Amino acid sequence: MSAGTPSTASAALLGVAQIVVWGGSFFLLTVLAAPIHADTGWSLTWIYGALTVGALVSGLLSPWASRRIARGQGRRVLLLSSWLVALGLVILALAPHYSVFVAGWVVMGIGMAGGLYDPLFAVLGARWGAQARNTIYVVTLIGGFASTVSWPALAWLEPELGWRGTCLAYAVFMAVVMSPLYLLALPPDIAPASAAPPRPGADRQALADVDPALMRLLSLVFCIAAILMTAVSVQIILLLQGTGHSLTAAIALSALIGPSMVGVRVLNLALRNLHAIWMALFSAVFVALGMLLISAVPAAAALGIVCYGVGNGLRALVRGTLPLALVPAHAYALVMGRLARSSLLCQALTPLVCGFILSQWGAHATLWLLAALAVANAGLSLRLQWYLRQQRSTGPHAGAHS
């Protein structure tokens, strides 16, 4: 593990890189789906379905990326991921028919497997261990502005260039800026000559050092949090309208999520010594409180949205710092890959499942189901806290970093 940690300036560069990669992948269709539909005639369901394919590919390949990162190739993985996302955008721009459009998302999904928050956290944790925590805080604080920056930029470009020209322009921008960001922010990977070749079964042995019960708990907590985040991100305006709010009011209420997320991340900089298990509990409790308020008291939706935003703002921090506090250093990158796979698969399927529930049983039933999931996640977070207490009382726990 390398001495020292990235400077605040380097962490800020990594945060900017996250803004760029999220804007060119997961957040792309929020702005461009309607223009793509108008230009091509493809249904919006098919257009968003291509994103689902990309997310599925990303989830399936996340463990592969984590193995490369665990072997000291983290910067290389991040660089390759940015080029693949840029290539995918070029394919989208040139797609003559829908099958090529889907192929572009497959390429982008391969890139996302090695370029979003989880692989970046794995790179930081694998190299610096618990000392990466403050860097993760800065990255997520700046990365929290991804939608705030990318959506207006895409909306400004599209009328001038069309959706195809916007994809091409974004691809060129990524190709120009991402490599310098990573090369400046991160030290070189371990040289092949000095890196020990991986022992047969070394990855399996590293994962075997992690308590299976802990892995199940972490996976459940992360998967439910991913489901809630995706469902709210995609459907919150429809859900609020279904509980009696006008479209204008629903949009205004939804706009409270971003400031709440960024605000709690700023506040958390002053609470950086708080153990990650408490951060996970606070995140789950605030999300549950927010979803219950939105479901049960429509008049208090603004307070519910703010509570949800606070909890979801902590979620990205928890994704990086909770495994860092609970698993051995040599297994961290591999664990992050496994957790990313399950979370991304859940994210990919959530819009389809929630859309079906919303169409069959309406907004109230959908909100109460999401609220029940949020309450269950708060209970699982309490179970994680109990697990940590038990480990401390019976001897050295799995988390050598805490």
Domain boundaries in the chain? 8-184, 202-394
pLDDT at 265: 77
pLDDT, residue 180, reads 95
CATH class (in words) of the domain with range 202-394? mainly alpha
Whether 20 has a pLDDT exceeding 90, the answer reads: yes
Torsion over CA: 395, 204, 119, 222 (sign): negative
Q: What percent of the chain has pLDDT over 90?
A: 43
243 φ, ψ (degrees, to nearest 5): -100, 15
Note the CATH number of domain 8-184.
1.20.1250.20
Residues 360, 354: Cα–Cα separation, whole Å: 10
Within 10 Å of residue 204's Cβ, how many Cβ atoms? 9
Asked whether residue 324 carries a pLDDT value surpassing 70, the answer given is: yes
Q: Which of the residue ranges 24-28, 114-118, 123-127, 376-380 has the most confident prediction, judged by mean pLDDT?
A: 376-380
How confident is residue 262, by pLDDT bands cut at 50, 70 and 90?
A: confident
- Which tens digit of pLDDT belongs to each residue from 190-237? 644 444 455 545 666 666 678 888 899 999 999 999 999 988 877 888
Mean pLDDT of the chain, nearest integer: 86
| Strand, coil or helix: 95 | coil
Higher-confidence position of 34 and 272: 34
Taken in order 158, 161, 163, 169, the sign of the CA dihedral is: negative
Does the pLDDT value for residue 316 go beyond 80? no
Q: Identify whether the C-beta of residue 18 lies closer than 8 Å to the C-beta of residue 146.
A: yes
Contact 141, 266 (CB under 8 A): yes
Contacts of 386 (CB under 8 A, 6+ apart): none
Distances (CA, A) of 244 to 102, 233, 363: 37, 19, 10
Q: State the angle between helix axes of 257-269 and 301-326 in degrees (0 to 180), rounded to the nearest 10.
A: 40
pLDDT (mean) for 323-342? 84
CB 348 within 8 A of CB 56: yes
Query: What is the enclosing helix (H) or strand (E) of 29?
Result: helix 28-40
Q: For residue 152, what are its two tokens?
A: 């207006």
Spell 216-231 as b/e; 16+ CB within 10 A means b.
Answer: ebbbbbbbbbbbbbbb
Band (pLDDT 50/70/90 cuts) for residue 3 is low
Picking from 260, 108, 94, the residue whose alpha carbon sits closest to that of residue 164 is 94
Per the model's pLDDT, the better-predicted residue between 381 and 274 turns out to be 381
The answer to whether residue 17 scores a pLDDT higher than 50 is yes
pTM of the model: 0.78
- Asked if the domains 8-184 and 202-394 are classified in one and the same CATH topology, the answer is yes
Average pLDDT over residues 374-388: 92
144-177 tens-digit pLDDT: 788 778 888 998 999 999 999 999 999 999 999 9
